[in-house]
Homo-oligomer: A and B are copies of this chain.
Amino acid sequence: MHTKEKILLEGMELFATLGYHGASMTKIADRVGLQKSSLYTHYNSKEALFFDVTTKIAADYVEFVKSTFENNGQTTQEKLYFSFQAHVKDLANHDSSIEFYNRFSSYPPKGFEDRVLKILRESEEQARTVFKEEITKAQADGDITEDVSPEEAARAFYGLLDGLSYETSYYDMDIIESHGDSMWKVFWRGVKA
C-alpha cells in the first residue's frame, strides 16, 4: 500500500475514535510509522487530510447502503430487514467508517461545519432515496400500508438507524442488537399492510 493511502486509512480510524482534535498529526504519524513532519509531504495540512477522508467515507456509505439491497428473490420485508441488520452489525462491531460518519454528522469540527455537512448530507440523501424506492415498491405490491407515505416510512426507517447510531457509543454489542430487535419489531408492525 502506498504511503498516502496508509495515512488516509489511519487518519480515518483515529478521527473516528478520537475526534478531529484528539487525532493529532503525531498520533497519525506514529500509526503510519513516520515522523509527523513527513505527513506534510503527502497532505498540505491536517484539514486537507480530514476532507480527503470525509469525501471517501461519504462515497463508501452510499455504496454500502446500495449493496445491502442488492439481494434478489426476497420479499420487501426481508430486504429491509437485511439492510437494517447489516447496519446493526456494522454499528455493533464499531466499524470505524460508520463511526466517522456518525461522529462528524453530529459534531463537525469547529469552522468546518458547512463543508463537512454538505458532503455527508448529500450522501445521506442518496441513501434515504434508496430506502424510499424500496418502500414505494413494497406499497405497490401491497406489503406496506397506504396509511403511511413512502416519505414517512423512509424517515421512520432512517430514524431506527439514527437511534441505533446514537446508542453505539453507549451500549455493548449485545444490547445494541437487542434494542435493534425491539425497534424493528415495532417499526414493522407500524408499517405493514
Contact = CB atoms under 8 A, between A and B. Distances in A.
What is the predominant secondary structure among interface residues of chain A facing chain B? helix
A152 B152 CA distance: 22
Sort chain A's interface into a size bin. 35 or more
A153 B165 CA distance: 19
A107 B107 contact: yes
A156 B186 contact: yes
Contacts of A145: 189
A170 B106 contact: yes
Nearest to A156: B186
Contact of A187 (B106, B169, B170, B190): B190
A155 to B, nearest CB: 4
A50 to B, nearest CB: 16
A2 B44 CA distance: 48
Interface string A1-39: 000000000000000001101100000000000000000
Most chain B CB atoms below 10 A, which of A102, A148, A161, A190: A190
Interface stretch (A52-60, A78-86, A177-185): A177-185
A105 interface: yes
18 contacts: A103-B106, A106-B168, A145-B189, A151-B182, A152-B181, A152-B185, A153-B186, A155-B179, A156-B182, A159-B160, A159-B164, A159-B179, A159-B182, A160-B163, A162-B167, A163-B166, A186-B187, A189-B191
Interface of A: 18-19, 21-22, 102-103, 105-107, 110, 117, 121, 145, 147-148, 151-153, 155-156, 158-170, 178-179, 181-183, 185-191
